[in-house]
Amino acid sequence: MLYHLIVIDFISKKPLLSRLLQQKTRKTESASKHFLRLEKNQFHQLKGEAVTRRRKASSKVLEMQS
């Protein structure tokens, strides 16, 4: 009798456990996507700053040559 109650209890809780696990997985996936997006934005920002520095340096070189 007690065994049946434990099994029924486990079966009834299993959908809840799987739903909680899916929510956690979804949150983790969205957090990792957000982090990757931030990383990509930071990369493009640094790349833009490097291009700007290069342009300034080359314009200074051109000024010095003329």
The reported pLDDT for the residue numbered 5 is 61
pLDDT for res 7: 61
Furthest CA-CA distance within the chain: 97
pLDDT tens per residue across all 66 residues of the chain:
566 666 666 666 677 777 777 788 888 888 888 888 888 888 889 888 988 999 999 988 888 887
Please state the domain extents for the chain. 32-65
Residue with tokens 């009798």: 1
List phi, psi (to 5°) of 26.
-60, -45
